[in-house]
Amino acid sequence: MRSVRSPEFQGITFHEVRARSVLNRVPGQSVVPFSWTVNPYRGCSHSCVYCLSGDTPILMADGRTKPLSAVRVGDEIYGTETRGARRHYVRTTVLAHWRTRKPAYRVELADGTRLVAGGDHRFLSDRGWKHVSGGENRPHLTAGARVMSTGGFPAPPERNEAYVRGYLHGTDGLLDDHGRKGFLAGVFDTAGTYAEGTLRLHATDPETTEAICLALKHLGFSAAIEDSGVRVLGGLGEHLRFLHTVAPEEARKLALDGAPVDASLEVRAVTSLGVELPMFDITTGTGDFIADGVVSHNCFARNTHTYLDFDSGADFDSQVVVKVNAAEVLASQLRRPSWRGEHVAMGTNTDPYQRAEGRYQLMPGIIRAFAEHGTPFSILTKGTTLSRDLPLLSSVSAEVDVGLGVSIAVLDRELHSSVEPGTPSPQARLELVRRIRDAGLPCGVMIAPVLPGLTDSDEHLDALLAAVADAGATSATVLALHLRPGAREWYAQWLAREFPALVPRYRKIYGRGSYAHASYRRTLAARVGPLLRRYGFGREDEASHRVPEPREAEPAPRAEQMRLL
In a domain, residue 312? The reply is no
In a domain, residue 303? The reply is no
Rounded CA gap, 134 and 450, in Å? 26
pLDDT of 304 reads: 41
Q: In terms of residue numbers, what domain contains 143?
A: 52-151+263-297
In a domain, residue 309? The reply is no
Q: Burial, 108: exposed, middle or buried (Cβ in 10 Å; 0-12, 13-18, 19+)?
A: middle
What are the angstrom distances between the C-alpha of 246 and each of 62, 127, 196, 203? 15, 34, 21, 18
DSSP annotation of 433: H
Residues 28 and 88 occupy one common structural domain = no
Residues 397 and 281 occupy one common structural domain = no
Please count the residues of the chain: 565
In a domain, residue 258? The reply is no
Read off the CATH number of the domain in which 219 is found: 3.10.28.10
Residues 73 and 135 occupy one common structural domain = yes
Q: How many domains does the chain have?
A: 3
8 A C-beta contact, residue 43 and residue 16 = no
CB atoms within 10 A of CB 530: 12
In a domain, residue 156? The reply is no
pLDDT digits (tens, 9 = 90+) for 265-287: 999 999 999 998 888 888 788 88
Residues 240 and 286 occupy one common structural domain = no
Rounded CA gap, 119 and 398, in Å? 45
Residues 384 and 503 occupy one common structural domain = yes
Residue 532: closest CA among 480, 458, 482, 481 = 458
Beta strands, E only, 189-318: 192-195, 198-202, 223-226, 229-232, 264-284, 288-291, 294-297
Strand partners, 490: none
The tens place of each residue's pLDDT in the chain, 565 residues long, gives 888 886 666 667 888 999 999 998 876 544 556 789 898 987 655 444 568 899 999 999 988 999 999 998 889 999 999 888 789 999 999 877 777 778 899 999 999 999 999 988 889 999 888 989 876 557 899 999 999 999 999 998 999 999 999 999 888 878 899 999 999 999 999 999 998 889 999 988 899 999 999 999 999 999 999 987 899 999 999 999 999 999 998 877 888 888 999 999 999 999 999 998 888 888 788 889 999 999 998 754 333 444 444 544 445 556 788 999 999 999 999 999 999 999 999 987 778 998 788 888 999 999 999 999 999 999 999 888 899 999 999 999 999 999 999 999 888 877 887 777 667 888 889 999 999 999 999 999 999 889 999 999 999 999 999 999 999 999 998 989 988 766 777 788 788 888 899 999 999 999 878 889 999 999 999 999 999 999 988 544 444 444 444 443 333 333 333 333 3
Residues 216 and 240 occupy one common structural domain = yes
First to last CA, the chain: 33
To the nearest 10°, report the CA torsion of 463, 453, 257, 216. Answer: 40
Q: What are the residues whose beta carbons fall under 8 Å from the beta carbon of 554, sequence distance 6 or more?
A: none
Residue that finishes a domain, picked among 218, 233, 253: 253
- Is the C-alpha dihedral spanning 424, 428, 430, 434 positive or negative? negative
pLDDT of 109 reads: 97
Rounded to whole angstroms, the maximal C-alpha distance in the chain is: 96
Residues 137 and 72 occupy one common structural domain = yes
Residues 241 and 289 occupy one common structural domain = no
Give 335-342's long-range contacts (Cβ < 8 A, gap of 24+): 335/373, 339/373, 339/375, 341/373, 341/374, 341/375, 341/376, 342/35, 342/36, 342/375
Residues 232 and 367 occupy one common structural domain = no
Decide: helix, strand or coil at residue 83: strand
Strand partners, 548: none
Residue that finishes a domain, picked among 220, 253, 286: 253
pLDDT of 376 reads: 95
Rounded CA gap, 225 and 212, in Å? 10
Residues 464 and 534 occupy one common structural domain = yes
Rounded CA gap, 450 and 481, in Å? 5
Read off the CATH number of the domain in which 62 is found: 2.170.16.10
Residue 528's Cβ-side half-sphere holds a number of Cα atoms within 13 Å equal to 25
DSSP annotation of 399: T
Residue 75: closest CA among 334, 263, 285 = 285
pLDDT of 57 reads: 96
Residue 552: closest CA among 166, 105, 26 = 26
Q: What is the C-alpha R_g of the chain?
A: 28
In a domain, residue 305? The reply is no
pLDDT digits (tens, 9 = 90+) for 312-347: 444 555 678 899 999 999 999 999 999 999 999 998
To the nearest 10°, report the CA torsion of 454, 459, 461, 465. Answer: -150
458-471 and 426-438 helices cross at what angle (nearest 10)? 30
In a domain, residue 313? The reply is no
What are the angstrom distances between the C-alpha of 241 and each of 4, 152, 181, 221, 500? 44, 8, 12, 9, 29
8 A C-beta contact, residue 103 and residue 118 = yes
8 A C-beta contact, residue 559 and residue 372 = no
Do β-strands 65-67 and 57-59 pair in parallel, antiparallel, or remain unpaired? antiparallel
Residue 313: closest CA among 303, 321, 322 = 303
136: part of which helix (H) or strand (E)?
A: none
8 A C-beta contact, residue 61 and residue 268 = no
DSSP annotation of 153: P
Rounded CA gap, 486 and 302, in Å? 5
CB atoms within 10 A of CB 219: 16
Rounded CA gap, 169 and 385, in Å? 70
In a domain, residue 310? The reply is no
Rounded CA gap, 95 and 305, in Å? 15
Residues 361 and 452 occupy one common structural domain = yes
Read off the CATH number of the domain in which 11 is found: 3.80.30.30
Residues 454 and 542 occupy one common structural domain = yes
8 A C-beta contact, residue 38 and residue 326 = yes
SS (H, E, C) 182-213: HHHHHHHHHHEEEECCEEEEECCCHHHHHHHH
